[in-house]
Structures are given as C-alpha cells and as structure tokens.
Amino acid sequence: MYLRVAASTDVGRVRKGNEDAFVVANLDEDAPATVSGARRIGVGERGMLLAVSDGMGGANAGEVASKIVVDTVHRTLAEAPASTSRRAALNAAVERAHRAVKEAALEEKKYRGMGATLTAVLVRGDSAYIAEVGDSRAYLLRGGVIKQLTKDQSLAQVLIDKGALDAARAEDSPFKNVILQAMGRSERVKVALARLSLRARDCLLLCSDGLTRHVSDDEIRDIVLPAKRLDAACKALVDLANERGGVDNITVMLAGVGGTREAVRSSDRITRTFEVLKSFEEE
C-alpha cells in the first residue's frame, strides 16, 4: 500500500509567526519525508505517520511546543518494537510527547505556559489509527462524502453534546476557542483514539483550526474532490482561509490511499469502518 501525500502550512494574515508543525514519515526510514508537491510514499512494515500540531502560547514558544510534539511522536513510534500493537504504540508516543513538552517548559523559563494540539494518524496495513489532543482535526473523504473523524476537545463541543449549544452556531461561539486540554499543559494527557479500516481511493485530511474556523466541511469536500492534484487542493484550501481573514496559522495535509486490496463497496459507509477506541470523555 502507498499514500500520495501533500501538505501546506501558512502563517495566515494576522499572526507574525507560524506556530504549526507537521510531519510525514515512513517509520521504516530514519528521517521524515520531505513533502514537495504531491509525493507518493510507500507504507512500510512499521507503518506511516501523519501528524499536525498547532502550537499554543504565542510569546511562550508555541512553535517550540508543536515541533517537540511531532518530533517526539515520530521518534517514539520509530523506536517502538515491531511487535507492539499499533494502538499501544500510538498512545505511548502521544503520552511521551506530552511529557517532553512539559519537561521543556520546566527547564526553560521562557517556555513556561507553552502547549500544542495534536492530530496524529498511524497507517499500517489496511488500518489507520487516529490520536487526538485538542482541536486540530482529521477527516475522511470517501465516495463523495466527508466525515470528521476526530472530536474537538473544546468547551463548545461539550455544550453541543449536552444540548446547550446548537452545532450550527458553534463557530461563532466564544466557547469554541476554549480548549479543554493541550500537550504539555497538564499533569497528564487524555488521548482520544480511533481506528479506521481503509479503502482504495480514501483520502485523509489533517488540519489545524486555522482552516476550519474559515472553511466549512462541505467547502473542504467541494475543493478536494474535483482537484487534479492534492498539492493544488491544499493550496486552494489555504488560499480560501486567507481570503476570509486568515486569523490563525493554517496547516493542511492530504493523503490519498492507493494499493489496498479493499475497494469501496456500497455497504462501506464510513461509520461501518470506523471505531472509537477511547474517547476524551472516557478518560
């Protein structure tokens, strides 16, 4: 199996620096992949890591936190014994990255208060394991449908779940930006985990909230599906977010699935191939 991957990150129209970070890495190789254009990358025995992290802290080095997160998750997964289950390996990598950010903030006074979100996808075989901390997102596009695979760990989402806030009005709610946890910001991290069975021609999308605060799910779908190249779709999404204000850093990653034995069947609705393994609320 292989993934055709493209990614784009942009400072936006308001921020002075880019606190987002991302990584694309074949875990059978020593170094992360350099993504220029749309690159085809084989999924090796150890799997492929896709991750996006949105740094938090502004002057308190959010860009340092996000870099620590993606580097630590990558290194931990690359060093994990091949016999370790994918779920356990991904969970352990996220917890280690959380500790690394926390320790760095304690060692350097100028880093105090820094943190980061994380959306990480580990693809191995015909499965993708998804880890979430914060409010960056992962989506799946399949058969003309877009589905959000992660769940924002925000006060707005809690209020939606309780019926106290209408989902259609959540984007304008002051509670949307109240994040309930971040990497390195608390004593322990609650890692939300899910598993997706992949199908041929699936397309995974990872992004920071700099995209989703300006561009709706339907608009994302309508840009990605007709695009002839994934890198062109990434650029179009970033450009649209900037046209609408670009109030935050914007990172978009697209990964198209190829080489799987499983083709999409009419019964393969996304919900039938997707399983929540551990939710944020269960922790």
Domain boundaries, the chain: 2-145+179-278
At 7-57, the pLDDT tens digits run 999 999 999 999 999 999 999 998 888 887 789 999 999 999 999 999 997
Distance between CA atoms of 193 and 188, rounded to whole angstroms? 16
Q: In the 8-state DSSP scheme, what is residue 283?
A: -
Mean pLDDT for all residues in the chain: 92
Distance between CA atoms of 9 and 32, rounded to whole angstroms? 16
At 257-266, the pLDDT tens digits run 998 666 666 5
Verdict on whether the full-model pTM lies above 0.85: yes
At 218-264, the pLDDT tens digits run 999 999 999 999 999 999 999 999 999 999 999 999 999 998 666 66
Instruction: Provide, rounded to the nearest whole percent, the portion of the chain with pLDDT above 90.
Output: 76
Amino acid (1-letter code) at residue 148:
Q
Cα torsion 26, 203, 5, 190: sign: negative
Q: At what angle do helices 230-243 and 217-224 cross, to 10 degrees?
A: 140
Contact 156, 212 (CB under 8 A): no
Q: Is 2-145+179-278 in CATH node 3.60.40.10? A: yes
| pLDDT higher than 60, residue 117 | yes
Q: What is the pLDDT of residue 58?
A: 63
Residue 61, CA distances (Å) to 14, 52, 55, 64, 171 in order: 17, 17, 8, 5, 27
